[in-house]
Amino acid sequence: MARRAVLVLSAALLASSALTACSTQGPAAGPAPGQASGAKKGAGGRITMGFAQVGAESGWRTANTKSVQEAAKKAGIELKFSDAQQKQENQIKAIRTFIQQKVDVIAFSPVVESGWDTVLKEAKDAGIPVILTDRAVDTKDTSLYKTFLGSDFVKEGKAAGEWLTAAYANEQGPVNIVELQGTTGSAPANDRKAGFAEAIRADGRFRIVASQSGEFTRAKGKTRAKGKEVMQAFLKSQKDINVLYAHNDDMALGAIQAIEESGKKPGTDIKVISVDGIKDAFVAMTEGKINVVVECNPLLGDQLMELAKKVVAGESVPARVETQEGVFPQDKAAAALPSRKY
Ligand code: AHR
């Protein structure tokens, strides 16, 4: 018995190690009645999607992963899911694995904007369509992907800056701002920074006195400083901080801890502006600790599966599908909290 158990275990280990970074999640018997009719490719086989996720760095990302996994199940699409742990080389490896596995479509949310042409060309040469989801890539060759599904991050940055200029309409300057940037080189970090800077540029009262990456994450990981630690450093180096602009909620929440530990009141002594709209941020708004959240919607799964079916069927799709998002100032948080889905 014991020997048989060891043999079974070894076989299971061999099978799982062959999948390396990728795990497969697919419904055993297609979609439930009343749900999506089930994607068909070619002569009637189920579509297989390779999905290379950024990682699990934030509450937003966790909600995005769940949305993609649930939507694939509902749509009858077999999902090969890979978590890149915020490393571009891992995502490139995962995409190459998907190409070898001859998936029908690849979807991915690029960790950073640049450096994708080679691997995307490999997918194109293998005849596998690619959908960019959540984050865009920086390339001159737009034939390397079929469509982009996600947010306009520049618009989000602008909305944050516009809220700030309105909030200080009747105040004296200068207004000293510290900025917690997202992952260096990523589309949301680049665009949210640019949009915000554009919105405050014309008003000489606003000054970004310090700006550094907190990796879109709340508190310290193994190697790099995150939202909390970067804010601690800001509080040491800048004696007069009026506003924190964080590129996402997780960094804002980490920074709030640092502000409180320094004896200051987040939301009052230092105004806090954040992006995403996860439940924890809404709770912090109801407690007066965040002043405004610019929404970024992670629930992209259903739209992604619809696009995938079309792309695999050779139908045309729009070059860009943008999600609709709102801005939630503190006084709207309590009413909105019960209906937040992520
Ligand atoms: O790309 C979207 C961003 O990535 C979200 O704002 C952030 O929370 C996430 O990690």
User: Which domains, ranges and CATH numbers included, belong to the chain?
Assistant: 41-150+299-324 (3.40.50.2300), 153-296 (3.40.50.2300)
Distance 5 CA to ligand 1 centre (A): 44
Distance 165 CA to ligand 1 centre (A): 24
Site to substitute for ligand 1 among 66, 216, 275, most atoms within 8 A of C-beta:
216
Model-wide pTM > 0.75: yes
The pLDDT tens digits of the residues spanning 247-306 come to 999 999 999 999 999 999 999 999 999 999 999 999 999 999 999 999 999 999 999 999
23: pLDDT strictly greater than 60: no
- Name the residue with tokens 């995403």: 276
For residue 220, the model assigns a pLDDT of 78
Count of CB atoms situated within 10 Å of the CB of 293: 31
Q: What is the CA 53 to chain-centroid distance, rounded?
A: 9
Atom of ligand 1 nearest to the CA of 57: 10
Distance 203 CA to ligand 1 centre (A): 28
Contact status, residue 26 vs residue 46, Cβ threshold 8 Å:
yes
User: What are the C-alpha distances in Å from 90 to residues 35, 95, 148, 215?
Assistant: 34, 9, 21, 17
Atom of ligand 1 nearest to the CA of 55: 10
Collect contacts of 90-98 with beta carbons under 8 A, ≥24 apart: 90/21, 91/52, 91/54, 92/119, 93/21, 94/21, 94/22, 94/50, 94/52, 95/50, 95/52, 95/119, 95/122, 95/123, 96/122, 97/20, 97/21, 97/22, 97/50, 98/22, 98/50, 98/52, 98/123, 98/128
- Beta-bridge partners for 244: 178, 272
For residue 245, the model assigns a pLDDT of 99
Contact status, residue 105 vs residue 308, Cβ threshold 8 Å:
yes
The pLDDT tens digits of the residues spanning 72-116 come to 999 999 999 999 999 999 999 999 999 999 999 999 999 999 999
Atom of ligand 1 nearest to the CA of 217: 10
Distance 98 CA to ligand 1 centre (A): 24
- Average pLDDT over the chain, rounded to whole? 89
pLDDT bin (cut points 50, 70, 90) of residue 70 is very high
Give nearest CA residue, ligand 1 atom 4: 61
The pLDDT tens digits of the residues spanning 120-170 come to 999 999 999 999 999 999 999 999 999 999 999 999 999 999 999 999 999
Atom of ligand 1 nearest to the CA of 296: 6
For residue 149, the model assigns a pLDDT of 98
40: pLDDT strictly greater than 60: no
For residue 202, the model assigns a pLDDT of 94
Site to substitute for ligand 1 among 54, 215, 248, most atoms within 8 A of C-beta:
248
331: pLDDT strictly greater than 80: yes
The pLDDT tens digits of the residues spanning 203-215 come to 999 999 999 999 9
Atom of ligand 1 nearest to the CA of 275: 6
5: pLDDT strictly greater than 90: no
| Least confident stretch, 42-46, 299-303, 325-329, 331-335 | 42-46
Q: How far is Cα 26 from Cα 274, in angstroms, rounded to an integer? A: 35
Q: Which residues line ligand 1 (CB under 6 A)?
A: 57-58, 60-61, 134-135, 188, 216, 248, 275-276, 296
Distance 216 CA to ligand 1 centre (A): 7
Distance 189 CA to ligand 1 centre (A): 9
Site to substitute for ligand 1 among 53, 57, 58, most atoms within 8 A of C-beta:
58
For residue 118, the model assigns a pLDDT of 98
Contact status, residue 107 vs residue 78, Cβ threshold 8 Å:
no
